[in-house]
Structures are given as structure tokens and as C-alpha cells.
């Protein structure tokens, strides 16, 4: 029975989708309830924001390590390990008596972000070549949809059952995901073997953590503060040392020459700005909707009502995600990526210019989510088509890390601009939000310029930096 399930490609995809959705929903479900958590623990806004920032920092720091371990010891095994950490973190948050301990739980939950690149790699290893492009695009689109679902229902759950219920729901989803994974998904036959690059892992983790912590502390330290500058400088030095060390070691954590291939480096650069602009935009929407009507621009929505503004976009995302996968199969993921970036950037520009009417609060996010589904679905496929199977986990993980790092920077910078605009009444001004939307639009334009530079075709048998041949895609690239 189990062998039959593991041989069914639809079952494999469904099991991986359950795990991805579990993480994606929990990633954003907490956003509308941050004011409730702030009141419960008598904390400041910057302290409760650490619940989100610690989540992203943890994911960015650990995704590359789990990606490499998945390539070495088995992708399914590492996905299961991450889901176990995720479930433990949910339990810690659900019973936590303090905000500090809840942040620890969120750090554990954030470790699961590396399951996405491993899931994409598993799809590449297990599914027929003709189905790989569409399946990866659909899974990534569903994950983007999960983030929208979380933000839409988080306020409803918090308003009616309390914010701790969010963590209990995430715990149940995490445990179910582990069961489905172990029962329905076979282990990948593609392994690199070798040993863990401990020194490289430490340098990489410290180099990423330093600037991300500085970004998280900018509300109290300031963007030009001494400690902020020191951590950014330390991060740059550590990542530079990491890159030099990885070029010398026999079995590196991350193969640096592979990351420097034209298609990889350009896609990763575009991904950084995608995370900066698009995810930063969607995160501040909930706060924007809940601003009081006396501000002249706010909708005065409750947490539940704020989620309802995102429902049309969520529905469209679910409809367009399979279509984006089909488009990638026919014309290649690079074209799909460009289309998604264009839609997102247009929505950001429209939100910057006009956000005075309620119908616009439904329209612009809807266009945004349509583009997000296409963009997120195409990114991992572009990467995986350009690398050999034995480096798929680490390469996709780096792409995820850059998106996460861009998101953390975008969210915090947007929050800083909004907070700085607060007038005598204490509420942010319309100008603050408009500036944040304009900044996100600029990031979208940069992402589009980079997307247009991504090579569409690899050739019949692209050679990697190590001389090995990447698997030639069976579909247009």
C-alpha cells in the first residue's frame, strides 16, 4: 500500500504541498494578531515585530545548511527534520508565558523554510521530466497562496479564538505534514555524500545573522547607528571570508562557482528585490487597512476585516497558479517570471498613486497576488534547470535565502518609513505609506530590469562551473 502511494506522482506532490502550505500559512497568520500579542505581553511594537523578524532570520541562516544536508543525506529526511523543529516551535509558542520564549519558538518554526527548496528538488528527482516545470510552479504558487490565506484568516482566528489558537492550528498542520511526508514521499535517490562543512556553516550563519539582526533592531538603533553599521560591516567581512573559504575546501557547504553562473546570479539578484518589494508590500497592507478613518486614508478595519480585503487576490492566485505552471511549461519559466514581476510592479505603482477608495483596496492587492503566484512559481524552476541534480538543494536554498533576506529588509525599511511619518496624533501619515509603496515599486522596477537580463535558454546540454552537465530541460527554458 505504502509502496503504491510512493509511486503515485500526484500523491507525492500532494504530500509535499501539505508541508509547504503548513509553513506558508503559519508564516503570515500571525501578522494581523501582532497588536493583540503586544497588549497581552505589554510589549512595544518593535518587540512584537521580533516575532516576524526572528522567523525570517532563522530561515535565512538555516536554509542553506539544510539544503546542503539534503543533497548529502536525503531530501525527505531533512524535510522531516525541519517539520519536527517547526512543530516543536509551534508548541513552545502556544504555551509560552513570555514574549521572549515565544520568540524562541518562532526561531524554531523559521528553521522549516528550507523545506521548500528541498521539496522542489524532490519533485525534480521523482516526477517525470515533462511534469517537473509545471509541478514546481504550481507548488510555489500554492505556497504563495498559503501566505495569503494565513494573512486573510489570521485576524479572524485571533479575534474569535485568541492568538494562541494560531499556534495550535500550526502544530496540528505540522504533525499532519510529517505523517504525509513519511508515508507518501519516497527518499530521493540523488545523493552527494561527503561530510558537513562545519566551518563554512558557522561563517555563513554568522555572516547572514549579523546584518539581519541589525535590520531587526533599526527601530531602536536607527539605520545610521553605530551598532547597525558595525553589524553590517561584520556581516560583509564574514560572508567574504565564507566565500574565500568555500573556494578552498574540498566539500563546500555551497559551491560558489555554481552561484556565479550567469543564469543563477542574475535570477538570485532579481529574487532579492522581489522579496524586498513584493513581500514587504503585502506585510504592511494589514496595518494600512486597520488605520483609523480619522487619518483620512485608513479603512478603520478590524483584523478580520483587513483579511477580507485580501480574499479576491487569494482567489485569483489559486486560479492563476496552475495557469502560471502551464505557461512555464510552454514558454519557459523566465517568461513567466517576467510577466509576474510586471503585474506586481504595476500593482505597486497603482497603490502608490491611488489608494483613496475602498474598491482599490480589493483591486490592487488582487493584481499583486496574481503576479506573486507567477513570480514565486518561476524562480525555483529557473534555478533548478541550470544546476546538476546533486547541487539542486543548496542552489534552490540560496535563492530562498535571498528572497527571505530581501523580505526582512523590505518589511523593516517600510515599517521605519511609516513610523517616522507619525504625526502629533501618533498615527502614521498617508505620506509615510505612499513613500513605502513607492520604495516597493522601485524594487519591482529593479527586479524587472534584472529579470530581462536572465538568459532564456541554456542550450541542449549546459555545462556547470565544475564541468558537470546539468540535466537538459525537457521544456522550453
Domains of the chain, residue spans = 2-187+253-451, 197-252
Residue that is written with C-alpha cell 498613486 in the block: 353
> Using CA of residue 283, residue 285, residue 286, residue 288, what is the dihedral sign?
positive
Positions of the chain with pLDDT under 50: 459-477
Alpha-carbon distances of 362 from 53, 155, 187, 312, 317, rounded to whole Å: 27, 17, 43, 7, 13
Q: Under CATH, to which class is 2-187+253-451 assigned?
A: mainly alpha
Query: Is the distance from CB of 146 to CB of 24 less than 8 angstroms?
Result: yes
The residue behind cell 502544530 is 171
φ, ψ (nearest 5 deg) of residue 441: -60, -40
Runs of H (alpha helix) within 217-279: 218-221, 226-248, 256-259, 262-274
**pLDDT computed for residue 474 by the predictor:** 37
Provide the pLDDT for residue 358.
Answer: 82
pTM above 0.85, yes or no: no
Q: What is the pLDDT at residue 46?
A: 64
pLDDT digits (tens, 9 = 90+) for 298-334: 777 776 777 777 778 777 877 777 777 778 878 888 9
| CA angle at 173 for the pair 371 and 366, rounded to the nearest 5° | 20
**Torsion angle, CA of 64/65/66/71, rounded to 10 degrees?**
90
The per-residue pLDDT for 329 is 79
Give the pLDDT confidence score for residue 473 in this predicted structure: 37
d(CA 395, CA 117): 8
The backbone torsions φ and ψ at residue 463, rounded to the nearest 5 degrees and listed phi first, read -95, 135
CA nearest neighbour of 55 among 212, 222, 280, 234: 212
Specify the DSSP element, H or E, that contains 140. helix 129-161
Which residue's entry shows cell 517537473? Answer: 132
Mean pLDDT of the chain, nearest integer: 81
Amino acid at each position: 500500500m505504502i509502496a503504491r502511494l510512493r509511486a503515485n506522482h500526484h500523491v507525492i506532490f500532494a504530500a509535499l504541498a501539505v508541508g509547504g502550505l503548513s509553513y506558508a500559512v503559519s508564516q503570515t497568520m500571525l501578522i494581523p494578531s501582532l497588536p493583540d500579542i503586544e497588549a497581552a505581553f505589554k510589549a512595544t511594537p518593535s518587540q512584537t515585530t521580533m516575532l516576524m523578524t526572528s522567523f525570517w532570520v532563522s530561515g535565512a541562516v538555516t536554509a542553506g545548511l539544510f539544503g546542503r544536508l539534503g543533497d548529502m543525506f536525503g531530501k525527505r529526511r531533512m524535510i522531516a527534520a525541519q517539520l519536527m523543529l517547526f512543530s516543536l516551535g509551534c508548541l513552545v509558542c502556544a504555551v509560552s508565558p513570555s514574549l521572549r520564549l515565544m520568540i524562541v519558538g518562532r526561531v524554531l518554526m523559521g528553521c522549516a523554510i528550507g523545506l521548500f527548496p528541498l521539496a522542489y528538488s524532490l519533485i525534480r528527482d521523482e516526477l517525470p521530466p515533462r511534469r517537473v516545470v509545471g509541478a514546481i510552479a504550481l507548488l510555489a504558487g500554492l505556497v504563495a497562496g498559503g501566505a495569503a490565506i494565513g494573512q486573510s484568516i489570521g485576524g479572524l482566528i485571533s479575534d474569535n479564538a485568541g492568538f494562541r489558537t494560531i499556534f495550535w492550528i500550526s502544530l496540528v498542520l505540522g504533525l499532519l505534514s510529517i505523517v504525509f511526508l513519511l508515508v507518501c514521499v519516497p527518499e530521493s535517490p540523488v545523493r552527494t555524500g561527503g561530510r558537513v562543512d562545519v566551518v563554512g556553516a558557522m561563517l555563513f550563519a554568522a555572516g547572514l545573522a549579523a546584518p539581519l539582526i541589525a535590520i531587526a533592531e533599526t527601530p531602536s538603533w536607527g539605520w545610521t547607528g553605530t551598532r547597525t553599521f558595525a553589524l553590517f560591516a561584520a556581516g560583509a567581512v564574514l560572508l567574504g571570508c565564507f566565500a574565500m573559504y568555500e573556494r578552498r575546501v574540498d566539500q563546500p557547504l555551497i559551491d560558489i562557482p555554481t552561484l556565479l553562473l550567469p543564469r543563477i546570479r542574475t535570477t538570485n539578484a532579481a529574487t532579492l528585490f522581489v522579496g524586498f518589494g513584493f513581500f514587504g508590500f503585502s506585510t504592511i497592507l494589514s496595518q494600512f487597512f486597520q488605520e483609523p478613518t480619522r487619518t483620512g486614508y485608513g479603512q478603520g478595519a478590524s483584523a478580520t476585516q483587513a483579511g477580507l480585503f485580501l480574499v479576491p487576490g487569494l482567489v485569483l492566485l489559486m486560479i492563476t497558479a496552475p495557469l502560471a505552471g502551464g505557461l512555464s511549461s510552454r514558454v519557459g519559466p523566465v517568461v513567466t517570471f517576467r510577466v509576474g514581476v510586471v503585474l506586481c510592479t504595476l500593482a505597486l505603482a497603482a497603490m502608490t498613486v491611488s489608494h483613496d477608495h475602498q474598491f482599490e483596496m480589493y483591486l490592487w492587492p488582487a493584481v499583486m497576488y496574481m503576479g506573486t503566484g507567477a513570480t514565486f512559481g518561476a524562480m525555483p524552476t529557473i534555478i533548478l534547470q541550470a544546476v546538476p541534480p546533486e547541487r539542486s538543494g543548496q542552489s534552490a536554498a540560496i535563492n530562498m535565502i535571498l528572497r527571505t533576506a530581501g523580505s526582512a529588509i523590505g518589511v523593516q525599511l517600510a515599517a521605519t518609513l511609516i513610523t517616522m511619518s507619525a504625526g502629533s496624533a501618533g498615527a502614521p501619515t498617508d505620506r509615510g505609506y505612499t513613500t513605502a509603496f513607492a520604495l516597493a515599486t522601485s524594487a519591482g522596477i529593479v527586479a524587472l530590469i534584472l529579470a530581462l537580463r536572465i538568459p532564456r535558454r541554456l542550450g541542449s546540454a549546459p555545462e556547470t562551473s565544475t564541468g558537470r552537465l546539468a540535466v537538459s530541460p525537457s521544456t522550453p527554458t
